[in-house]
Structure 1
């Protein structure tokens, strides 16, 4: 390498343009890939990137690409000091958590850039008090994830029908999820019956721009997404647990309790003799 190349600054600094607002505040339970669970969440844009003019035309696209930052990473301090934080190989859960592959052959969070890339469904664009809030579905990001960029998904170039997917050729197998009667009663007592109109699921065939009532604020809409437990959330909770968020090396352990935090509750579950994952408790945080 020449001295000229060695002197170049190999870092790049990108602004944070918004934050992801979601029901999941912890990594445990979050989908490992986008569009595996149809969770509704939102992107709260920051000034000056929250101006509606910056999103004109985006409503004509059904899906968007999101560049984002892994902000809950844990790195081994000794390894970080020895290798400037670079981890050349990782153990993907898809391979049982034991087999190593190169970091650039994976979608591991432990990347040199700490950047993630996801394609999600754009449900609609909300204009709230002159600010933009993107309502999306299928994100694999947790609450508070910094957003770096947003681009429209273009089917004719982004869909590659002859693509090969290496060690992950098909979607992972889902487990059956059941809930005890006691846990379901706990959930019902904590959940609200109605679903807020501002952030509810809809089956529209394309996204749209929507101005919400004047009484609505970004803060109130974000609160609904982050913490208001709804009756319909039981389906989302089951879908998340069906992905089996447990560490790969502990998936044979029976009746070992794991806890997934969802909105305002901690959901306990474990593996039972039938091979199903059973929800055993739903407790307010």
Structure 2
């Protein structure tokens, strides 16, 4: 078997740290699936506009392609402390590093960069190769009586996120009209507390950074909340 990507994701997640652990958790995360020229044909998407969501079948690229796999993993939902089988998880390090996400579909757009599918609520790294698109069919794909194993409930309540005066000034400078929804994106990502589960073992570590779009975001863990302390262009 040999598969070629039909296109690549362009998302605000330019680093793996900070990507939400499931799709739909960060609604401000909009992305484009930019199609390769041979697949950039409007007729291939005829009638897709009637579906609000789509399945995106993609490849966990970067080091996942060469790092190999292990039969057990420690999922973040269990705090990184308990092991489960890789096939009972959504871990990226798999025998075949393939991911599947249901995301909101915002329609096709054709511009100077070619034909693209606009998406919202993505959980994919910028540059992710996409293998296929399928419509999300509610009557078949939503199974209310299904059991969720160790992920029976949504993540815990989002953390409160505050913005320091310095960070507020940075956000105003880099997104003065709010067109990029930069403030909302930063706050929604940090509400999920992107730290690995095992970081609870290091309570002395309080300051962290992550990259979104072309920015380095600095933030600090305080008692009961997260504070954004600054933004700067990434080197």
Q: Which TM-score bucket, shorter chain as reference?
A: over 0.9
Q: Which residue in 2 is equivalent to 1:189?
A: 173
- Asked if 2 retains the 8 angstrom alpha-carbon contact of 1:37 and 1:138, the reply is yes
* Other structure's SS at 1:48 match: helix
Which segments of structure 1 move beyond 6 Å, counting only runs of 4 or more?
A: none
Residue 144 (1) aligns with residue 127 (2): yes
Q: Which residue in 1 is equivalent to 2:39?
A: 49
Question: Superposed, which structure 2 residues align to 1:239-250 within 5 Å?
Answer: 239-250=188-199
Per-residue deviation at 1:117? 0.2
1:18-63 deviations in Å (ceiling 9; x for gaps): 0000111111000110111111111000021111111111111111
- Structure 2: distance between partners of 1:116 and 1:74: 11
Q: Which residue in 2 is equivalent to 1:111?
A: 94
Gap regions ≥5 residues in structure 2:
none
- Asked if 2 retains the 8 angstrom alpha-carbon contact of 1:73 and 1:109, the reply is no
Q: Per the alignment, do residues 42 and 51 of structure 1 end up closer, same or farther by CA in structure 2, a change over 3 Å counting?
A: same
- One of 142, 164, 170 as aligned partner of 2:147: 164
Q: Which residue in 2 is equivalent to 1:276?
A: 225
Q: Which residue in 2 is equivalent to 1:58?
A: 48
TM-score normalized with structure 2 length: 0.92
- Structure 2: distance between partners of 1:15 and 1:280: 42
- Asked if 2 retains the 8 angstrom alpha-carbon contact of 1:66 and 1:118, the reply is yes
Aligned length: 231
Question: Superposed, which structure 2 residues align to 1:29-40 within 5 Å?
Answer: 29-38=18-27, 39-40=29-30
Per-residue deviation at 1:136? 0.6
- Structure 1: distance between partners of 2:207 and 2:96: 34
When Rg is computed on C-alpha atoms for both structures, the one with the higher figure is 1
Q: Per the alignment, do residues 28 and 86 of structure 1 end up closer, same or farther by CA in structure 2, a change over 3 Å counting?
A: closer
Which structure carries more strand by proportion?
Answer: 2
Gap regions ≥5 residues in structure 1:
1-11, 196-229
TM-score normalized with structure 1 length: 0.77
- One of 151, 155, 164 as aligned partner of 1:180: 164
Q: Which residue in 2 is equivalent to 1:258?
A: 208
